[in-house]
């Protein structure tokens, strides 16, 4: 068994954009999930409800640490800020999902390779 002591930055290419990010730890994911989950109803009819859109947005915001070649429709570079990451998510949720999936997949492949060595 290997303990994770620091995060490794992963760089992926999604379309024309180079994205840098880090796979979130299970603890970080649990904390985000908890922050977007509420109880609805009472007694026997109570149930947990998770705002999955807000959760996915915040996972994207926390996963992405930087990008290159991200431009608006006028060709201006878009700085990688939390606000801009939220705007990118709202504008193109499919792109955001591809980014998170690519970063997580690359991180898992890297972890598998380390375990084999």
Q: Tell me the per-residue pLDDT of 28-85, one tens digit each, with 9 for 90 and over.
A: 999 999 999 998 888 788 888 999 999 999 999 999 999 999 999 999 999 999 999 9
Q: At what angle do helices 26-35 and 52-63 cross, to 10 degrees?
A: 140
CA distance 18 to 12: 6
Is the distance from CB of 70 to CB of 78 less than 8 angstroms? yes
CA distances from 49 to 5, 61, 74, 90, 96 (A): 33, 21, 40, 21, 23
Length of the chain: 117
pTM, full prediction: 0.85
């Amino acid at each position: 068994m290997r303990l994770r002591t620091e995060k490794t930055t992963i760089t992926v290419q999604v379309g024309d954009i180079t994205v840098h990010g880090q796979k979130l730890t299970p603890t970080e994911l649990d904390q985000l999930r908890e922050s977007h989950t509420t109880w609805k109803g009472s007694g026997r009819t109570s149930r947990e409800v998770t705002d999955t859109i807000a959760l996915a947005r915040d996972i994207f915001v926390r996963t992405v640490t930087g990008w290159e070649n991200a431009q608006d429709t006028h060709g201006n570079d878009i700085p990688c800020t939390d606000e801009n990451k939220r705007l990118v998510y709202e504008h193109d949720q499919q792109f955001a999902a591809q980014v998170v999936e690519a970063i997580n997949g690359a991180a898992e492949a890297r972890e598998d390779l380390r375990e084999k060595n």
